[in-house]
Amino acid sequence: MLRIRSGQALNFELKMKKLLDLIRLNRARKQGRLVRHYFLASVILISGGLFTSGLLEVYFVYQESWEHLGRVQKEIASATAFKIEQYVEEIERTMRSATKTREIVRDGLSPDYKWELRRLLVNSPSIAEAVAFDATGAKHAEAWRVRPVRRQNKWRSSSQAALEKAKEGKSYFGPVYFAEGTGPYMTIAVPIARFAGEFIGILLAEVDLKYVGQVLSSARVGKAGQAYLVTSSGDLIAHPDLSLVLQKRNLARLEQVEAAFSGAARPNVLVTQNMQGEKVFTSFALIPSLSWAVLAEQPIEEVYAPLYASMLRTSGLLLIGFAVALLATLLVRRRVVRPLESLRQGVERIREGDLSARLDVKTGDEIEILADEFNDMAAHLREAYTGLERKVAERTQALTIANEKLEKASKHKSQFLANVNHELRTPVSAIIGYARLVLRATEGQIAPLQRENLQDLLQNAERLLHLIDSLLDFAKIEAGRMDVRVEPVRIDALIDGATSTIEPLLNDGNVRLIREIAPGIPALSTDREKLKQIVLNLLDNAVKFTERGQIRIVATQQNGSLKLVVADTGIGIREEDLKQIFEEFHRGDLPGIKQYRGTGLGLAIVKRFVTLLGGDIAVESELGKGSSFTVVLPLDVKQSMSE
Ligand code: ADP
Residues 219-234 have pLDDT tens digits of: 777 788 889 999 988 9
Ordered DSSP codes for 27-48: H-SSTTHHHHHHHHHHHHHHHH
Q: Which atom of ligand 1 is nearest to the CA of 603?
A: 6
Ligand 1 pocket test target in 538, 603, 605, 608 with most atoms within 8 Å of CB: 603
Pick the range with the lowest mean pLDDT from 133-137, 154-158, 211-215, 391-395: 154-158
Top pLDDT among 27 and 549 is at 549
The rounded Å distance from CA 416 to ligand 1 centre is: 28
- For the Cβ of 570 lying below 6 angstroms from any atom of ligand 1, the answer is yes
Contact 59, 187 (CB under 8 A): no
- Which pLDDT does position 541 carry in this prediction? 92
- For the Cβ of 614 lying below 6 angstroms from any atom of ligand 1, the answer is no
Q: Which atom of ligand 1 is nearest to the CA of 566?
A: 23
The CA distance from 53 to 56, in Å, is: 5
Q: Which atom of ligand 1 is nearest to the CA of 572?
A: 25
Q: What is the mean pLDDT of residues 595-606?
A: 79
- Which pLDDT does position 153 carry in this prediction? 45
- Which pLDDT does position 4 carry in this prediction? 43
Q: At residue 273, does pLDDT exceed 70?
A: yes
- For the Cβ of 586 lying below 6 angstroms from any atom of ligand 1, the answer is yes
- For the Cβ of 600 lying below 6 angstroms from any atom of ligand 1, the answer is yes
Q: What is the mean pLDDT of residues 245-272?
A: 82
Q: Which atom of ligand 1 is nearest to the CA of 596?
A: 3
Which residue type does 40 have?
A: L
Ligand 1 pocket test target in 467, 581, 584, 623 with most atoms within 8 Å of CB: 581
Tell which residue, 92, 78, 87, has the closest CA to residue 214.
87
Question: Please, which pLDDT band fits residue 137 given cuts at 50, 70 and 90?
Answer: confident
CA dist 57 → 307, 517, 567 (Å): 9, 109, 105
- For the Cβ of 588 lying below 6 angstroms from any atom of ligand 1, the answer is yes
Of all protein residues, the one whose alpha carbon is nearest to atom 8 of ligand 1 is: 600
- For the Cβ of 439 lying below 6 angstroms from any atom of ligand 1, the answer is no
- For the Cβ of 543 lying below 6 angstroms from any atom of ligand 1, the answer is no
The rounded Å distance from CA 600 to ligand 1 centre is: 7
Element (H, E) at 282: strand 279-287
**Backbone phi and psi for residue 435, each to the nearest 5 degrees, phi listed first:** -60, -45
Q: At residue 44, does pLDDT exceed 80?
A: no
Q: How confident is the model over 74-121, as pLDDT tens digits? A: 888 899 999 999 999 999 999 999 888 888 877 788 888 888 899 999
The rounded Å distance from CA 618 to ligand 1 centre is: 14
Question: Please, which pLDDT band fits residue 20 given cuts at 50, 70 and 90?
Answer: low
- Which pLDDT does position 138 carry in this prediction? 82
- For the Cβ of 148 lying below 6 angstroms from any atom of ligand 1, the answer is no
Of all protein residues, the one whose alpha carbon is nearest to atom 23 of ligand 1 is: 542
Q: Which atom of ligand 1 is nearest to the CA of 571?
A: 25
Of all protein residues, the one whose alpha carbon is nearest to atom 20 of ligand 1 is: 541
The rounded Å distance from CA 636 to ligand 1 centre is: 29
Ligand 1 pocket test target in 541, 571, 579, 593 with most atoms within 8 Å of CB: 541
Q: What is the mean pLDDT of residues 313-332?
A: 78
- For the Cβ of 587 lying below 6 angstroms from any atom of ligand 1, the answer is yes
- For the Cβ of 563 lying below 6 angstroms from any atom of ligand 1, the answer is no
Of all protein residues, the one whose alpha carbon is nearest to atom 2 of ligand 1 is: 598
- Which pLDDT does position 434 carry in this prediction? 93
Of all protein residues, the one whose alpha carbon is nearest to atom 18 of ligand 1 is: 541
Q: What is the mean pLDDT of residues 302-322?
A: 79
Ordered DSSP codes for 497-563: HHHHHHGGGS-GGGEEEEEEE-TTPPPEEE-HHHHHHHHHHHHHHHHHT-SSEEEEEEEEEETTEEE
Ordered DSSP codes for 303-332: HHHHHHHHHHHHHHHHHHHHHHHHHHHHHH
The CA distance from 393 to 385, in Å, is: 12
Pick the range with the lowest mean pLDDT from 277-281, 388-392, 639-643: 639-643
- For the Cβ of 567 lying below 6 angstroms from any atom of ligand 1, the answer is no
Q: At residue 553, does pLDDT exceed 90?
A: yes
Q: At residue 3, does pLDDT exceed 50?
A: no
CA 374: distance to chain centroid?
A: 30
Which residue type does 557 have?
A: Q
Q: What is the mean pLDDT of residues 171-182?
A: 82
The CA distance from 46 to 30, in Å, is: 25
Q: Give, rounded to a whole angstrom, the gap between the first and last alpha carbons of the chain.
A: 49
